[in-house]
Structures are given as structure tokens and as C-alpha cells.
Structure 1
Amino acid sequence: MTLNLKHHGAITGVTGSCHELTIGNQGILVDCGLFQGSDSQGRASASELAIEFPIDHIQALVVTHVHIDHVGRIPYLLAAGFEGPILCSEPSARLLPAMLEDALKIGFTRDHELIERVLGLISERTRAIPYNQWQPVFEDGDTALSIRLQRAGHILGSAYVECDARSGNARERIVFSGDLGAPGTPLIPSPEPPQACDRLILESTYGDRDHEHRDDRRHQLRTVIEQALDDGGTVLIPAFSLGRTQELLYELETLFHDNHGEPWRDLEIVVDSPLAANFTDLYRQLKPFWDEEALERVHAGRHPLSFEQLTVIDTHEDHVRAVDYLNDTGRPCVVLAGSGMCDGGRIVNYLKAMLGQPRNDVVFVGYQAEGTPGRDILRYGPRGGWVELDDERYTINAGIHQLSGFSAHAGRSDLLRFVNGIHPAPKEIRLVHGDPPAKEALASQLRDQTSARVTIPSR
């Protein structure tokens, strides 16, 4: 079989996911994501973000989930002349327009009419397909490709992609993991490994470590919040608008439900992100895709993503007032704001105002890519260092915490369980979407535990 795999992103780091599978003369792309952090160096302008590889033979784009590092270059793909369908799960089809509208406003254009045209084109091309159903993509003589989406447990709508490739009498099953989630993630059913796989393209974000147990992370979050209540400080949580924010709201509702008295009764939770508020509303609309635990809470009369202590800030004016109010009054509060790596968005204004005060705390609940302010705060904050925000230095006196148990990514043991659940083992495993130490550590474990040929592609 003439089968080629190429990687157009997520090979030197954890962003810019874009992978190509070609059988014969036709192929597909799996994801087309934006580069972030140090991965984005040299890619600041539209011309540098342009699609630099041939796409005439690409018949479809398959989207694993709608995080920006997996979908952010879709407008550039369309501009390059891509005319095929965009295939994704049903929840992703609902979430994709909101994510790309925000991305277009920030990094593409401020022209409202142009944004509407691009979003209209994306909506026309998007085709939602159910989980666990084979879908033909192309057939050319004796060459054909079908795909099937399976739940990946990362965010709502996330999927890994099974590809059934046929050429003559030869057949091969290729699986793209996308981003896999950790078992037990709130709201999201856990991923199950595929029944068959010849080649596996596997993410390795946390290939070198595991996360805390869910009970431990909730205890740690409670401890940080109660410390803030004692100190009269603000807890800042840089959170990705999609996935992490909703998961945090779910856990915070749990804490409020379990702690009825003072001082929890007067604690306010602020979501300062119109995009996160929009996604949270979409999550509520997509209840049929929630897991059993979340649905049981709904049936019991609880509201995991909407509770009395929750305030949503929409306008920029209200955002500025909130920063000033919390900075001046010292009222205990938990603020969830984007962006998750502190490289833009409203969290930056909170950090500028509050990093210098010991009574405040910053809690990181997601991966911080190399070259982002979030990574620098984690690295230098515990030593009383500084971080550069908008070309100015800010001293870090606030408490700095990292709760890895809130990561939306599978940990090392979760990745190994996923692979070891495939029988027989894949012939080849390619590790992508990870920093070099994480990929090397996971590769070593996989070589010890499986018979697969484990590779780390450079292109």
C-alpha cells in the first residue's frame, strides 16, 4: 500500500497540530492548529501562518476537537484553496464557530463582514458525524479511506480518529489520538482504546508524568481558596475558555455544595471572559453528551455550571471595574479568565494589578508552553522573580500554585493504559504534541511495554 504520513505541526512542541495521511493520490488532514508560545516564533504575520504545504490532493479536514492549537489555522487553509468538508463530532460542530470567531478577531482581521463570510464558509463546509460510525471519505478505484470518531475524553466533542485505509487487497488501520483526556474528567465520558490499530499517532503532552487524583486536586483547590479567604486576597485562575473553565465550575459547584456555611457563603466566583461564558452556555445546551455523573447531578436538581455564587463579566468596561474593585478592596474572590497561558486576554490585566501583592494567589490548572508568560510565572514566581507582560516587568509576590490534576490531558499512566489496551499492539507508534523530554520519556516506557516500533518524527 502506498501510504504516507506527514506532520505539519506539533512535532517540536505541543501546539500547531496538523497531520496528513495520504493513500495513493488522495489524502486528508487531521487538525489544522495554531502555533503558540515558542512554537509561534517566526510566525507572527498572516504570511508566516499561511499553509506552506501542497493541499490539492487533500479531500477532507478531520477535526479532533476545537481548541485553538488544533483548529486555529483553518481560515488560512481555506485561503490556500481548500474546498473539502470539515468533519467533526456533533458537539464540535456546535463549538467550532465560536472558537474560530474569537480567533479571527484576535489574529486574522477586525473586519466584521469578512469574519462573517469566513464563518459562513466554515459552517457550510462543516459536517457533523456521530461517534462510533464509519464514514467514507474518498474512493478512487481500488483505493479508499473511511474514518470513525471515538470519544477522546479531553473536552466536550473531542475525538480520536480511526482511519481504515484500503488499497487493492491491502488494508491498514491508522489512529490519530488527538488530545486524550484523563479518566474521571468531569462532564466527559472517559476514552476507551480502539479495538484495532496498525499505526498510532499519539499525543505525549504529559508523557513524563502523572496527575494528582481528582480528590487530591479538589482538596488542593479548596486549600488555596480558604487561604485566600483568610488573607483577603483574590485567586486568579488563567483558564482556557473551552473545557478547563467548565471543569473548574463543576468542581467549584461541588465545593459550594459540600461547604454551606461561612466563609464560603459569601465567596464570589467570577468568570471574566465572554468566550468562556458562551462556551459554558453551549456546554449546558449539549447535556446529552455529558457523562453519567454530571447527568445524575442535574436529575438531583443541582446546576453544575450555573450556581448562585457565579458572576459573569461581559463588557470591557465591567472588566476594568472588576480589576480595580478587587485590587482596591481585597474582597476574597476567585477569578477565571483567559487566556490559559497568560499570553493575552483579560487575565493579563489582573496579573499586572495583583502579582505584586502577597495576599493574592495564581493557580495554574493547565499546561504552560515554553515561551509563554504562564511558564515564566511558574518558573520564576516561587523564587520571587518577575515576568514580562506587554513589554513591562512585573515582580511576582503572589502565591503561585500548579494543580496538574486539572489538566485536560491524559497523564503518562493514562497514555500507557490506552496503548496497552490495543490488541494486538500497533506495529508503529509515532509520538507528537509534546516537548522533547516528555516524548523521550514516553517513548522509553512504550519500548519497554510494547512490541511497537516507537518513533519521534521530525517532519
Structure 2
Amino acid sequence: MKLFHHGAHQGVTGSCHQLSWDDGRHSLLVDCGIFQGDEAQKHGGPEIEFPLDGIQSLLLTHVHIDHCGRLPHLMAAGFEQPIYCSPPSAKLLPLVMEDAIRIGFTRSERLIDRFLEAVDALVRPLDYHQWHRIEGDVEIRLRPAGHVLGSTIFEVRLPDGSLVVFSGDLGAGTNPLLNPPTSPPAADLLVLESTYGDRLHPRSDDRQAALESILRKTLQDHGVTIIPAFSLGRTQALLYEMNGIFERLQSEGGQSLLHRVDVLIDSPLASRFTALYDDLQDYWSEEAQHLMKTDDQPLVFENLVKIGDHNEHQDTLNYIARTELPAIVIAGSGMCTGGRVVNYLKRFLDDPRTDIVFCGYQASGTPGQVLQRGAHWLRLDGKKYHVAADVHQLSGYSAHADQADLIEFVDQFESAPKRIRLVHGDYQPKRTLAKKLTEKGYQVDDF
């Protein structure tokens, strides 16, 4: 067998890996995502530049755009093979694809519908924890990865019996809506993500306390808290924990917060994802399913407002600026590369009462990373904006495993993986994680 990388080998975004066997006559793809930030500049356009000969299927670990965003280009290049994924991913994928097509291809409803029909014809949802035989006399088994709803670890058994495990993106085990990842029993080759291979996340109770502190500040100074959130996963986890925080604040004050603060989801895509999350409660964690017995809507609370079309978005911006009432805004995109969050930044960056809260990875070269590094000004759409806002990094909300989680994932294999290939990480995190794993006796491929 051989493993080729068409993305996320020398960086974090653009995940796309090709596993071949039988002297290269057969192969499968794992993910096909877009490049983001500086990596997008290095790789040029998103067009498919590798041959599709012999590729018999695609395994989709989850529906974040850096893992599935090149699917339209893959299909335009002639790919018509089955796409295997978990049942939740199959439900969520059309929303991601519709958004990606609108941004990168066309706004024609007719063409979008035709493409979504073509995707639907290829998608094959498979149950977790069972072996399934697929094209090329290959067997695959899916395990929850704990990253976002539907995220999957793939075990791949080749015809000669070799076992290859693709971790996809592993969760930190702290998302209240998701069950933590579990390790497969064995692997001849483990393809392991390494996004945070050089750092440790704060404990979950620390992150909740930090978020609560920021929300209290917003209430006190009548400012605006802007949370650039990924529409899938992070938004739903934040809503779940805000629900609990607001309940505590209300019990302390003895009154409703309805007229004291607005919580706004200004992302139609995030709102649609949240509705689908509700429909997929069977895949939630035990904790979240238990909460459902006492709170039938843990992702909805009384001061939550969902913003619809562009006119409503503009009206909301003007309303917040005019009334100076406290507001908490969750808006995409998560790295501030576009979307409605950019308009909030333009309007409120120069106000010292503004708080900007990052809850996830910010790729190199993105506006989010510039703010994260403490810049005093930010260029948006060609114009410079002064930064007077406080910028916070709540890394405890990261959907990615940290160094300790990644090492624990490897340690919990019943038989140690024979080889490990690190992907989906910048050079320093990969180097640090490789050193730690090598010190524990694991064989890590050069990169």
C-alpha cells in the first residue's frame, strides 16, 4: 500500500489523502477539503490537479469545509464514485455544499439543485461500529471522532489484511454535545491529525468560567461580544453552555435577562445546522441526552435571536450601534475571512467595550490570526481598522484534541500502531508531537 497527500500534509487545511493498493491499480480518497489562509495562496485555485484513475470511493471524515469543500471541483473533474460517511454527516453535507457552491461556483438555484442531487446520489451513510465491505474488496469501520456531530475515525482493512486508520479530526472530549473519541484496537499505519500537537488546552471548567466572565463584562459595560464561530459544531457547543450560564446569572439576579442582553446568531447556515442538530439527538452525548429529559431545547433560550436575510442583518447592526444595549453576536466565518462577522468587526473594532472571542483555530494569514496575535489595526476589504477591542482566546472550546489527547489516543490502541503518519498540522506542532511519540517508542514517519 501507498499513501499520497493532496493537502493537509505540510499544513492544516485542504485535507485530502489517497490510499492505494494492488500496485496502484486501486485507491480511495479520504476527504477533499479546500485550502484556507496562506495555504490557499500557495496552492492556487481549488481545482483538482491529481488524476482520478483507479479511485473507487471517498471516505468523508466530517463536513467541515477544509475536509469537504473541494467536492464540487472533484465532481466537476469527473468523480462519480460512492462517498461513505456517517448518518449525521450525510444529513449535514447538503448544507455545507450549498454554501460552498454559492461562494465558489454559482448562485443559480437550478444549478445548485442539480449539484445537490448529484451529491445525494453518491452519498452512502454507514452505521458506526460495524464493518462494511466497499469497492476494491476493502472493509471499513466507522468510529465517532468527537470533533463535530458526525465526525468519524475510519478503520480501513485492505485485501491483504493491512489495517490503516485515519483519525480525521479528533475532538478534545470536552464538547458537551458529543461522545469522546475511542481508539481502534490496531493499525499497521495510523494517519493522525496534529493540529495542536504542541500545546495543552485549559480544563473545561476554566473555559466556562472565562466565557461567563466575558458575558458578565458585556452586561456591565453595555458592550458587544463578537464570537466568530464555525457554523457547525462550535456554535452549537457555545449555545449549549450559554444556556447554562444564563440560567445561573438569572438565578443570581432573581430576574429574567430577556430585556438586558440579546444573543444573536447572525448566520443563516449556523441556524440551519442548529435545527439539524436537534433532529440528530440520537447521536448526542449521554450528558446532552440526559439534559433533554429536563430541558427539551438546550440549544434555545429566551433571549436568543436568529438573524435572517441581509436586510435584517443590516438592521441589526444599526440597532446595536444606535441603542448601545449589550449584545452577544455569534457569526461566521470562524476565521473572519468573510461572512457577516466582518461587518460586525468593521462597526465595533474601535470600541474598547467590544470583546472578540475566538474559540477555534485561526489559520495563518487570516484576519482572525492577525487579531489573535494582538494587532493594533486590521485590514478588511482593503481598508484599515483600528483595534481597541479586547481579544480573547478560549482554546478550551477547541474542537481539536490537544497534545495530551492525541498521545492518549495512540496509547489506547490495544496493539501499538506499527507506523504513524502525522498530517493536518503546521511544522512545529507536528515536530513536537513526533518527538513526544518517538520518545514513547512509536515509529513516526518523516515529514
Deviation at 1:416, TM superposition (A): 0.5
Distance 1:22-1:350 versus aligned 2 partners, 3 A rule: same
Matched, 1:163 2:156: yes
TM-score, normalising length: structure 2? 0.97
SS, match of residue 424 in structure 1? coil
For structure 1, which runs of at least 5 residues remain unmatched after alignment? none
Moved more, 419-428 or 116-125: 419-428
Q: SS of 1:401's equivalent?
A: strand
C-alpha separation in 2, matches of 1:42 and 1:401? 29
Q: Give 1:452 deviation, angstroms.
A: 2.5
Out of 244, 253, 268, the position equivalent to 1:274 is: 268
Aligned counterparts of 1:152 and 1:39: Cα–Cα separation in 2: 25
- Which residue of structure 1 aligns with residue 434 of structure 2? 443
Question: Which of residues 389, 394, 410 is equivalent to 2:385?
Answer: 394
Q: What is residue 118 of structure 1 aligned with on the other side?
A: 115
Instruction: From 313, 324, 345, give the equivalent of 2:339.
Output: 345
Which position in structure 1 is the counterpart of 2:401? 410
Tell me the residue number matched to 1:138.
135
- Structure 1 match to 2:145: 152
- 1:12 and 2:5 correspond: no
- The amino acid that maps onto 2:200 is D
Q: Distance in 1 between matches of 2:443 and 2:106?
A: 44
- Once the two structures are TM-superposed, the CA of residue 302 in structure 1 deviates from its matched residue by 4.4
Match for residue 312 of structure 1 among 306, 309, 317: 306
| Alpha-carbon distance between aligned partners in 2 of 1:324 and 1:246, rounded to the nearest angstrom | 26
Query: What is the percentage of aligned positions where both structures have the same residue?
Result: 49
Structure 2 residue matching 1:21: 3-state secondary structure: strand
Distance in 2 between residues matched to 1:456 and 1:351, nearest whole Å: 41
CA offsets 1:165-184 (integer angstroms, 9 cap, x no match): 123xxx21100000000113
Match of residue 109 from structure 1: 106
Judge conservation of contact 1:432–1:456 (CA < 8 Å) in 2.
no
In the TM superposition, residue 264 of structure 1 has moved relative to its aligned partner by 4.2
Equivalent residue, structure 2, for 1:41: 41
Q: Name structure 2 gaps, 5 residues minimum.
A: none
* 1:312 shift after superposition: 0.2
Q: 1:284-328 CA distances to partner (integer Å, 9 max, x unpaired)?
A: 000111111111111113421111111000110010111111122
- State the number of aligned residues: 441
Query: What is the CA distance between 1:455 and its match in structure 2?
Result: 2.1
Aligned counterpart, 1:238: 228
1:170-221 deviation digits (Å, cap 9, x = unpaired) = x211000000001131110111111111110000111011111111101000
2:389 partner letter: A
Distance 2:144 2:88 in 1: 11
Which residue is 2:205 aligned to? 215
Alignment check: 8 A CA contact 1:233 1:333 kept: yes
Aligned to 1:331: 325
Shift of 1:43: 5.0
Please tell me the residue identity of whatever aligns with 1:189.
N
Q: 2: CA distance between counterparts of 1:391 and 1:137? A: 49
Contact 2:374–2:391, Cα closer than 8 Å, also in 1: no
Rounded to whole Å, the distance in 1 between the matches of 2:292 and 2:267 is 25
Specify which of 54, 67, 70 is matched with residue 70 of structure 1.
67
1:110 deviates by 1.9
1:425 equivalent among 387, 392, 416: 416
- Shift of the 456–113 alpha-carbon distance from structure 1 to 2, 3 Å rule, reads farther
Letter of the 2:360 counterpart: G
Whole-Å Cα distance in 2 between the matches of residues 237 and 231 of structure 1?
17
CA distance in 2, matches of 1:32, 1:342: 22
- Counterparts in 2 of 1:456 and 1:229: CA distance versus 1, 3 Å: farther
Q: Distance in 2 between matches of 1:366 and 1:118?
A: 30
* 1:439–1:456 CA contact under 8 A, matched in 2: no
* RMSD over equivalenced CA pairs, Å: 1.2
Change (3 A) 1:264 1:442: farther
Distance 2:257 2:386 in 1: 30
Displacement, 1:456?
4.4
8 Å Cα contact 2:198-2:433 kept in structure 1: yes
* Amino acid of the structure 2 residue aligned with 1:18: C
Deviations 1:118-154 (A, max 9, x none): 1110011101000011111224xxxx31111100000
Letter of the structure 1 residue corresponding to residue 30 of structure 2: V
Task: Quote the residue 2:21 is aligned against.
Answer: 23
The partner residue of 1:94 within 87, 91, 96 is: 91
Pair 1:379–1:263, CA change in 2 (3 A) = farther
2:48 to 39, 46, 51: 51
Q: Is the 8 A contact 1:239 1:340 kept in 2?
A: yes
